Amino acid sequence: MDMFLGHQLARILAIYIFTVIMLRVAGKRRIAHLSAFDILIIIALGSAVGDVMVYGEDTVPLASGMMVVFAVVALQIIVSKLTEHNKSLAYLVHGRGTEIIRRGHIVRHNLEAEDLTEDELMELLREKGVGRVSEVKEAVLERSGELGLVPYENGHIARRGRRRRIA
C-alpha cells in the first residue's frame, strides 16, 4: 500500500510538472478573457491530467497522459497561430463580440440573441461605473462575456440622435 501511494504521488508530480511546462510553452493568457476554445482546452487538459493523477499505471499509463497533454497543447498553439492570420477561422474558433448598445440605445435584437436581459445589462454597466444606458456611446459583449464600453466624452448623453451636456 505504501509503495502504491509513493508511486501515485510520483505520477501526480510528474504529470503536474509536465503540464506546467507545456502551459508555459503555450504562452500567457489572461484568465478573465477566456474564449469557448480556451475552456475546451482546460477541460481536455483537466481530463487528461486528472486521469493520470487518479488511476494507476495499469489503467492510464503516465506516458499516455503526457502524450495527451502534449497533443492538446500543440493543437492549441497551432490553432492560435492559424487564427492570427485567418479572420474567418478566428471567428469560427473564438467567436466575436456583439454590439449591445449603440449611440446610447440598447440594440434589442442583439441583447436577445445573446440571451441577456436588460437587468443583467444594467448590472454589467453598474460594474463599469455607468448608471444609464444613455451615457454609453457603444457597448460590446466581448467573446469572453465581459462588457467593453465606450462612454460619451465630457459627460455627453444621447438624446434622440443628439447629445446634450450633463450639468
Which residues pair with residue 106 across a beta bridge?
Answer: 101
Q: Beta 136-141 vs 98-102: how paired, if at all?
A: antiparallel
pLDDT digits (tens, 9 = 90+) for 110-147: 999 888 899 999 999 999 999 899 999 999 998 777 88
pLDDT digits (tens, 9 = 90+) for 16-39: 888 878 777 766 554 545 667 777
The pLDDT, as a whole number, for residue 122 is 93
- The dihedral through the CA atoms of 21, 27, 30, 36 has a sign that is negative
Kindly list the domain boundaries of the chain, sorted by start residue: 2-93, 97-165
The pLDDT, as a whole number, for residue 30 is 47
The pLDDT, as a whole number, for residue 106 is 94
The pLDDT, as a whole number, for residue 46 is 87
Q: Beta 105-106 vs 98-102: how paired, if at all?
A: antiparallel
The pLDDT, as a whole number, for residue 77 is 85
- Contact predicate 133/123, CB 8 Å: no
pLDDT digits (tens, 9 = 90+) for 47-92: 888 888 888 788 888 888 888 889 888 888 888 889 889 988 888 8
Which residues pair with residue 101 across a beta bridge?
Answer: 106, 139
Helices (H) and strands (E) in the chain, counts: 6, 6
Which residues pair with residue 138 across a beta bridge?
Answer: 102, 150
Residue 104, CB half-sphere, CA atoms under 13 Å: how many?
Answer: 15
Alpha carbon distance 33, 127 (integer Å): 16
Q: Report the percent of the chain where pLDDT is more than 70.
A: 82
The pLDDT, as a whole number, for residue 165 is 45
Class of domain 97-165: alpha beta
- Contact predicate 7/61, CB 8 Å: no
What is the residue type of 20?
V
- pTM of the full predicted structure? 0.57
Nearest in space to 22 (alpha carbons), one of 54, 52, 49: 49
